[in-house]
Amino acid sequence: DVQLVESGGGLVQPGASLRLTCAASGFTSIDHYMDWFRQAPGKGLEWLGRSRNKGERYSTEYAASVNGRVTISRGEYRNSLYLLMNNVKSEDTAVYFCAKDNGHWAFDIWGQGTLVTVSS
């Protein structure tokens, strides 16, 4: 089965760092553009950033709202995608999703999401 599974969420203190993992199975994630998204409670979907494929050297793009605090990277031998966020704030409380770009300007495979709660 083709699937993505996020992990690493939980309770995080303001100002701390968090690292989320997106484990892919059933396909080779390094061949695809992969992205991170989030949905804050009661809010809509928000794009955070992307990692292009291996052929494009995993180059990245980030949303302005998190640029400078977020780094997206790959675990090539673990078929995984990572999100590192520094200096987390209460407004970073959300369910975080990873997704695979289908090559046609949309995202066809999504993880189930991992909840991050920023609170002291």
Partner 1 sequence: IQLTQSPSFLSASVGDTVTVTCRASQAVNNYLGWYQKKPGRAPELLIYAASTLQSGVPSRFSGSGFGTEFTLTISSLQPGDSATYYCQHLKGYPITFGQGTRLEIK
Of 96, 85, 58, 93, give the one whose Cα is nearest residue 74: 58
Of 20, 22, 2, 4, give the one whose Cα is nearest residue 12: 20
Q: Residues 1, 64, 77, 120: which binds partner 1 (CB under 8 A)? A: 64
63 contacts 71 by C-beta, under 8 angstroms: no
CB of 66 to partner 1, least distance (A): 10
Q: Does 56 bind partner 1 (CB under 8 A)?
A: no
Q: Does 92 bind partner 1 (CB under 8 A)?
A: no
Could you identify the residue written with the tokens 């987390």?
Answer: 88
> Across the strands, what pairs with 23?
5, 80
Question: Binding segment for partner 1 among 12-20, 24-32, 37-45, 80-88 (CB under 8 A)?
Answer: 37-45
28 contacts 81 by C-beta, under 8 angstroms: no
Q: Does 7 bind partner 1 (CB under 8 A)?
A: no
13 contacts 22 by C-beta, under 8 angstroms: no
Question: Binding segment for partner 1 among 11-19, 41-49, 51-59, 75-83 (CB under 8 A)?
Answer: 41-49
- Which residues are near partner 1 by CB under 8 A? 35, 39, 44-47, 50, 61, 63-64, 97, 99, 101-102, 104-108, 110-113
